[in-house]
Structure 1
Amino acid sequence: MRISSRVLSALLLAVVVAGALQAPAGAARQSLEWVECGDGMQCAKLTVPIDWKRPDGPKTRVDLARLPAREPGRKLGSLVVNTGGGATIQPVRGTPAVVSELTTWFDVVLIDPRGMGDRGSSTAVECDRPQAGIGGLILNPTAAGWRAQAKANAAYDASCRAAMGAAYAGLTSWQVAHDLEALRVALGEPRLRYFGNSYGTVYGQAYLELFPAKAGRMVLDGVADHTRPSLERWLLDHARTEEAQLRRFRDWCAAGCALGDDDAIEVFDELLARTPLPAGEQTVSRQQFLLAVKEGLAPPAWPRLAAALRKAADGDASDLARLKPLPPESPGHPHGAMLCHDFMPDVPGYREFRAMESRLRQAAPRIGWIHGRYQLARCVGMGGEPANPPRPLRAKGAPPVLIAIGDTDDNTPNLGAEHVAAQIPGARVVRHGDGHAAYLLHSAAGMGDTCLRRHVHDYLTAGTLPAPGARCPGDLLARIPRG
């Protein structure tokens, strides 16, 4: 980062840490009005300050949904769940199995972050403009491409600010962590029992720092590391994980895939050297090839990637051309803005980034280095305020936390998850061979008493932590077809 950025980061760090150590006064208990809202759910709204540093200031509302315990007389209390990725309630409506077994022991209470909400809810904000495409800086690597990406993101940001109005000022995980505390108080729970997946782990990290004495049993799965003040160091974890993911794909393919006896990395190298690749009446450029492979490295896409590489090696890259990120949601939603305020409130300039990128290429020369462009594509051009920049985690007094880390998780890198776990006193890690959101995906697939699910349930219900060094197999990985 620029020298001015480092100075700014240091000042922000001092201010934010001081604020974290002197959190605003606790939330007053409010009565939640639960009403039936379909799909076996009861819904309510939690009223919270836009800015918890001004608890008597303007208010906003947060959507909640409750899946009641199957046997109310035997329940252990409430378990608050955030599944990450923006909204929680609507995805659970679509796939209730992701959390339904937890109602064996708990009232499962779903909480949406600010700006998101249930279907038809007034709290669900729509931004007129979509966020820029995640692959934009890869496909358009020039300074002009950088400016175009920044212009599109700036328009998205402005539309979200207009749609949310004053409530936009509360769009950080620091504020959401206070919302979690207000929910704990409203539920009448002495401690917050919490399951956070993906971005839900960012809220969990903030809660552990702000309210360690109020934290109860907490499971963090698919951990997004919000503790690296250095953007380059954060990107390096992504780059190295993706480079390792290519090797894991090669190893998986060696046991049987569409590439036959060919080494997947050798095929990758040969195709990259041959770009642009013929694809029917079009071609696949070097940038398109790299982005396609990056998209195909998520384990569920491995068979498709192997088949596309085979076909490209045989002279037709049209299937690779179809391996690309989903288009931006239109209309947009404000969760993308929250990510930028939390992780990249001070995006480097183009020249500064090019120097950073050269170092990423040294560390992860085949595929990992493009994560710099992949991640910054979200936030270049976005406004920096409100800001909640990453900082080391201080969670003194927090109880033991269970952290699940997937070997093949290239969404939230295992290197970052390990970094977070090392900062939480008494944290216990269970490693597994699967990728991102493994617990939820095991549950959605009805996989029963898997090793990972057993560890999560034993901990949440009885406080039983896995033994140090615990490891579970890749149960989902074993189900991936090789043909």
Structure 2
Amino acid sequence: MRTIMTAALSAVVLTALFQAPASAAPQRRALDWKACGDGLECAKLTVPIDWKRPDGPKTQVDTAKLPARDQARKLGSLVVNTGGGATIQPVRATPAVVSELTTWFDVILFDPRGYGDKGSEAMKECRTPQPSVAGLVLSPGEAGWRAQSKANAAYEASCRKAMGAEYAGTNSWQVAHDVEALRGALGEPELRYLGNSYGTVHGQMYLSLFPAKVGRMVLDGIPDHTRTSLEKWMTAYARTQEQQLKRFRDWCADGCALGGDDAIEVFDDLLARVREAPLPAGDQSLNEQEFLVAVTERLSQPPTWSRLAAALRKAADGDATELAGMRPLPPEDPGYLNGATLCHDFMPGTPSYRDFLSIESRLREAAPRIGWVQGRYLMGRCVGMSGKPANPPAPLRVKDVAPVLISIGDLDSTTPRLGAEHLAAQVPGARVVRHGDGHAAYLMQGAGGLNGTCLREHVHEYLTTGALPPSGARCPGDLMARVPRG
């Protein structure tokens, strides 16, 4: 299973439904913590499969605790979800992403519905893997649309079979209720929460459903779950990715494998050439669709920009072999539930092929070089799925809530900056700290041993004292400073 750094992109629907929180009181029974290896204590949280029927059938959610180093002086519990599907297993593998937080807190990890610790019955595997996110780019015609739809439908059917009756609880509306039950079981009067990537979707739903219970909340790498317009949401992705190409050009201007050549001019020249004929790539070749996918993949991963620059240099000089190797990760086999959950949350309804082409024409106007490709990535995740149980996006209408800290990366196109800004504007009293790194910066800095960075200091000061960064706070790109340019 892939790490917590795996991107969890999202999509939206044309209309939004407003759902009230379930009336059931959260679970108050204390959790039964037991040592489970790697310095963790584990416990099962029992919750309804459907919080709209709190007395109905139950399921269990896996939780794990990294105990505070000094139990006598700890500040309480901090609930953490790292996004990308599972949380507990990836933290076992790379504890440094959150271990510094045990200076002050019992760090409580939880896995959303369908995920769980190693060997747990809560972890469900979908026998049929989800197809590549790049499928609609590599096969751009109507036949490719039908093939992607069929493959997604088969993947979802295998997930539904694996989950059985529990499949009815697979969306972030249900998970937010699980988080509230977890808060109650921990005995905390308010929720302290750190959500990364898809963990911020659960955080957004919690804000909407239980604003009075929010104590302190950090959201980093935000898929915006408040856009009700499919086209506007896709446009945010497209424009952010188009800006990403310009930021790559600016980064390269300070020295990279392209020498003194302008990165955008090199891209434009290669795109014009590949539209005339495939680029030579050793014993193979690289066509236009494969070229766009390769560049898209690396633009979204700023720590690999030196490799992108070197590959573009070699392609411009006549050998696109390295560029051809920059393909998306192959589908996970077996599949996992996060792809289906994403569609339940963001796209329970999808446009027809012809309606999408109309949207795409406007995406090409807004982001003509590379950004428009994002529309096909997003549709490729959900086309063909049923979208049920649905939890479609809706504006975040919250009046009385404690201040929330939102982290926005200048180089985050995985969960686009424009979406994070849109969400931040809807949270009263929210404070934004910007930084020069990309997606999942807080966790990635921890994994890299960068524990004293500007971003992490702001996060820790807020979580421990409630003090927010000053308005307009900005941190450098501490991860990008390590990226080699040669």
Normalising by structure 1, what TM-score?
0.96
Q: Which residue of 2 aligns with 1:413?
A: 416
Distance 2:165 2:35 in 1: 30
1:460 matched to 2:466:
no
Distance 2:398 2:180 in 1: 15
3-state secondary structure, aligned to 1:216:
strand
Q: Which residue of 1 aligns with 2:177?
A: 178
* 1:10-49 correspondence to structure 2 within 5 Å: 10=15, 13=16, 16-17=17-18, 19-20=19-20, 23-49=22-48
Q: Deviations over 1:291-347 (max 9, x none)?
A: 000011120110110010001011010111100110010000111100000011101
* 1:34-73 correspondence to structure 2 within 5 Å: 34-73=33-72
1:123 matched to 2:122:
yes
* 1:357-372 correspondence to structure 2 within 5 Å: 357-372=360-375
1:333 matched to 2:336:
yes
3-state secondary structure, aligned to 2:382:
coil
Q: Which residue of 2 aligns with 1:146?
A: 145
**1:9 offset after TM fit, Å?**
5.2
Q: Which residue of 2 aligns with 1:379?
A: 382
* 1:215-226 correspondence to structure 2 within 5 Å: 215-226=214-225
Gaps of 5+ in 1: 1-5
Distance 2:245 2:152 in 1: 30
Q: Which residue of 1 aligns with 2:7?
A: none
Q: Which residue of 2 aligns with 1:198?
A: 197
* 1:98-117 correspondence to structure 2 within 5 Å: 98-117=97-116
3-state secondary structure, aligned to 1:378:
helix
Q: Deviations over 1:379-405 (max 9, x none)?
A: 111112100011101222111000000
Are the equivalent residues in 1 in contact too, given 2:64–2:88 (CA < 8 A)? yes
Distance 1:355 1:283 in 2: 31
Q: What's the % identity of the aligned pairs?
A: 71
Amino acid at match of 2:465: A
* 1:310-329 correspondence to structure 2 within 5 Å: 310-329=313-332
3-state secondary structure, aligned to 1:62:
strand
Q: Which residue of 1 aligns with 2:353?
A: 350
- Give 4+ residue runs of structure 1 displaced > 6 Å after superposition: none
**1:26 offset after TM fit, Å?**
2.0
Are the equivalent residues in 1 in contact too, given 2:200–2:222 (CA < 8 A)? yes
Distance 1:300 1:449 in 2: 19
Are the equivalent residues in 1 in contact too, given 2:14–2:230 (CA < 8 A)? no
3-state secondary structure, aligned to 1:72:
coil
**1:241 offset after TM fit, Å?**
0.4
1:287 matched to 2:289:
yes
Distance 2:451 2:142 in 1: 51
Q: Deviations over 1:397-426 (max 9, x none)?
A: 111000000000010101000000000010
Distance 1:28 1:102 in 2: 25
Distance 1:9 1:256 in 2: 44
Are the equivalent residues in 1 in contact too, given 2:127–2:333 (CA < 8 A)? yes
Amino acid at match of 1:456: V
Distance 1:154 1:30 in 2: 39
Aligned residues: 471
Q: Which residue of 1 aligns with 2:165?
A: 166
Q: Deviations over 1:447-479 (max 9, x none)?
A: 131110110000000000011111111111111
1:308 matched to 2:311:
yes
3-state secondary structure, aligned to 1:245:
helix
1:399 matched to 2:402:
yes
Distance 1:363 1:71 in 2: 53
Are the equivalent residues in 1 in contact too, given 2:136–2:380 (CA < 8 A)? yes
Distance 2:430 2:291 in 1: 40
Q: Which residue of 2 aligns with 1:277?
A: 279
Q: Which residue of 1 aligns with 2:256?
A: 257
3-state secondary structure, aligned to 1:75:
coil
Distance 1:462 1:248 in 2: 35
Amino acid at match of 2:149: A
Are the equivalent residues in 1 in contact too, given 2:30–2:187 (CA < 8 A)? no
Distance 1:409 1:234 in 2: 16
Amino acid at match of 2:123: A
Q: Deviations over 1:164-220 (max 9, x none)?
A: 001101100000000000000000000010000000000000000100001110000
**1:27 offset after TM fit, Å?**
1.6
Q: Which residue of 1 aligns with 2:435?
A: 432
Q: Which residue of 2 aligns with 1:3?
A: none
Distance 1:61 1:433 in 2: 39
3-state secondary structure, aligned to 1:74:
coil
Q: Which residue of 1 aligns with 2:298?
A: 296
3-state secondary structure, aligned to 2:31:
coil
Distance 2:363 2:22 in 1: 37
Are the equivalent residues in 1 in contact too, given 2:33–2:43 (CA < 8 A)? yes
Amino acid at match of 2:356: F
Are the equivalent residues in 1 in contact too, given 2:100–2:451 (CA < 8 A)? no
**1:280 offset after TM fit, Å?**
1.3
Q: Which residue of 2 aligns with 1:246?
A: 245
**1:231 offset after TM fit, Å?**
1.0
Q: Which residue of 1 aligns with 2:4?
A: none
**1:33 offset after TM fit, Å?**
1.1
Q: Which residue of 2 aligns with 1:446?
A: 449
Amino acid at match of 1:120: G
Distance 2:395 2:41 in 1: 37
3-state secondary structure, aligned to 1:377:
helix
Q: Which residue of 2 aligns with 1:473?
A: 476
Q: Which residue of 2 aligns with 1:79?
A: 78
1:390 matched to 2:389:
no
Q: Which residue of 1 aligns with 2:5?
A: none
Coordinate RMSD, CA, aligned: 1.1
3-state secondary structure, aligned to 2:80:
strand
